[in-house]
């Protein structure tokens, strides 16, 4: 059994929450926020179709348009975080998101839905850039990648818990149950804002020349590295969309294997996100880690491709083994991407550079579903091979691109 102290020690080693302090506060704010994300993402489609009365086509079209428009807020709000206290700015954005989330209760037609969804997407996109600036302020140059990985692990836990709570509303399948999901999402934004305001303020350093957010858009060496990371980020679509469709249409594995794969991914992310980020604290080692991520992700794609031509038992084993390999590559990519986005940014325009990084990743995510559905679900194993080749070649390109970016600027701390 072990003593109480031993049990607590084992729990601390497994828990993604850091020790008490500023990062713990930020982690709790993130967990509150992502519980709401889990509630909303799990129940949104059913709320909008069964309770509001929109068609699935209207929901899909509205979310696609809103998502693309929302990307435009990433760079301006990231730049604003360079000129304002990112803590106060993020809290204000969380409060604004609470108001917009509540506005979903007023949706009764497609135009109103499109307006609310667009406002929501603008705030979400901008808030991610502001969050990146706040993480850098809280953790400092030496701890920001570790903090980023910690928040990723916590976010996975929060989304999973929120999705579990949303299951009760889905079972009830009533208008009031879905409206309670909306109100629960609103409440988590308010809790998150309150926790963020418990952090100290981080006023920007006064500078003789005010940094311009557009400068990040003209830094083509940074854009090359961030663009490569964005290309690698299309792998996120694979687990959430492509793999379920592949299992059902192209393999003999039972559908429940998809749930098992998602569970394996979630558990490994919670347990390993921080540990696997340790090799990516600065640009040069991060570039090497990104190369490794591309090659490992490519290996995962090849294993998933093989599930179409093996018996049921082997397909199940390959699906789960590939998920483990994929998750390792995903975590290496996330940690290395954060390190490169921070370390290659101009120190006085950190928020704007994070906004550009988020913009490119968002564009890749927007293109991913249609592109990979055509490539893999329609193309079969050859599509997996093509995706594996793209991921491997992109990963291999990151170290030379990073060296070129470092050589083009004077060194700065972190």
Residue 109 gets the label, from left (phi > 0), alpha (psi -120 to 50) or beta, of: beta
What's the rounded Cα separation, in Å, for the pair 49 and 349?
42
Q: For CA atoms 316, 321, 324, 329, give the dihedral sign.
A: negative
pLDDT the model gives residue 14: 62
87, 199 contact by CB (below 8 A): yes
Burial class (CB in 10 A: 0-12, 13-18, 19+), 88: middle
pLDDT at 414: 38
b/e per residue 211-220 (b: at least 16 CB within 10 A): bebebbbebe
- Cα dist from 282 to 105, 181, 272, whole Å: 45, 41, 19
Q: What is the CA radius of gyration of the chain?
A: 21
Q: How does pLDDT run along the chain (414 residues), one tens digit per residue?
A: 456 555 455 545 566 788 899 999 999 999 999 999 999 988 888 899 888 999 988 988 998 899 999 999 999 999 999 889 999 999 999 999 999 999 999 999 999 999 999 999 999 999 999 999 999 999 988 899 999 999 999 999 999 999 889 888 888 888 899 999 999 999 999 999 999 999 999 988 766 556 565 788 889 999 999 999 999 999 988 988 899 989 988 999 998 898 899 899 999 999 999 999 887 778 999 999 999 999 999 999 999 999 999 999 999 999 999 999 999 999 999 999 999 999 999 888 889 999 999 999 999 988 888 899 999 999 999 999 999 999 999 999 999 999 999 997 754 433
- Can you give the pLDDT at residue 212? 63
Residues 6 or more apart whose Cβ sits within 8 Å of residue 167? 42
| 149: helix, strand or coil | helix
- Residues whose CB is less than 8 angstroms from the CB of residue 303 and which lie 6 or more positions away in sequence, other chains included: 318, 321, 322, 325
Number of Cβ within 10 Å of residue 364's Cβ equals: 20
Long-range contacts of 165-168 (CB under 8 A, 24+ apart): 165/35, 165/38, 165/39, 166/38, 166/39, 166/42, 166/43, 167/42
> What is residue 413's predicted lDDT score, i.e. its pLDDT?
39
Residues 87 and 135: their CA atoms lie apart, in Å, by 9
Domains, the chain, in order of start with CATH, read 20-196 (1.20.1250.20), 214-407 (1.20.1250.20)
Sign of torsion over alpha carbons 82, 84, 87, 91: negative
Distance CA 2, CA 351 (A): 47
Query: What is the distance between the alpha carbons of residues 190 and 321, in angstroms, rounded to a whole number?
Result: 40
CA dist 177 and 46 (Å) reads 11
Distance CA 412, CA 214 (A): 20
| 132: nearest Cα among 291, 334, 268, 411 | 334
For residue 3, the model assigns a pLDDT of: 62
In 275-407, the DSSP E strands lie at none
Q: What pLDDT score was predicted for residue 8? A: 56
């Amino acid at each position: 059994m072990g003593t109480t102290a031993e049990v607590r020690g084992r729990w601390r080693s497994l828990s993604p929450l850091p020790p008490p302090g500023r990062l713990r506060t930020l982690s709790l704010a993130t967990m509150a926020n992502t519980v709401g994300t889990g509630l909303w993402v799990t129940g949104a489609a059913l709320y909008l179709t069964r309770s509001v009365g929109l068609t699935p086509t209207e929901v899909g079209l509205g979310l696609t348009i809103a998502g693309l428009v929302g990307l435009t807020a990433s760079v301006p709000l990231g730049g604003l975080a360079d000129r304002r206290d990112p803590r106060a700015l993020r809290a204000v954005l969380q409060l604004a998101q609470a108001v917009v989330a509540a506005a979903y209760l007023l949706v009764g037609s497609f135009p109103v839905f499109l307006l609310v969804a667009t406002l929501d997407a603008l705030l979400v996109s901008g808030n991610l850039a502001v969050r990146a600036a706040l993480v850098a302020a809280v953790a400092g140059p030496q701890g920001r990648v570790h903090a980023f990985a910690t928040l990723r692990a916590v976010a996975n836990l929060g989304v999973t818990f929120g999705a579990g709570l949303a299951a009760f509303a889905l079972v009830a399948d009533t208008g009031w149950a879905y409206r309670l999901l909306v109100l629960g999402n609103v409440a988590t934004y308010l809790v998150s804002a309150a926790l963020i305001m418990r952090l100290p303020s981080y006023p920007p350093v006064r500078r003789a020349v005010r940094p311009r957010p557009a400068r990040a858009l003209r830094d083509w060496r940074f854009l090359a590295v961030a663009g490569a990371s964005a290309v690698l980020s299309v792998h996120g679509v694979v687990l959430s969309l492509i793999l379920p469709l592949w299992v059902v249409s192209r393999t003999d594995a039972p559908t429940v294997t998809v749930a098992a794969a998602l569970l394996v991914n979630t558990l490994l992310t919670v347990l390993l996100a921080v540990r696997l980020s340790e090799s990516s604290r600065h640009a040069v080692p991060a570039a090497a880690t990104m190369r490794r991520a591309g090659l490992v992700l490519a290996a995962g794609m090849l294993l998933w491709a093989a599930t179409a031509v093996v018996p049921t038992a082997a397909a199940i084993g390959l699906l789960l083994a590939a998920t483990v390999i994929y998750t390792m590559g995903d975590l290496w990519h996330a940690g290395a991407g954060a390190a490169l986005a921070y370390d290659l940014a101009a120190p006085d325009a950190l928020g704007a550079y994070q906004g550009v990084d988020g913009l490119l990743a968002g564009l890749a995510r927007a293109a991913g579903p249609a592109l990979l559905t055509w490539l893999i679900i329609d193309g079969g194993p050859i599509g997996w091979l093509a995706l594996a080749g793209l991921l491997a070649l992109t990963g291999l390109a990151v170290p030379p691109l990073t060296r070129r970016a470092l050589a083009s600027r004077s060194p700065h701390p972190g």
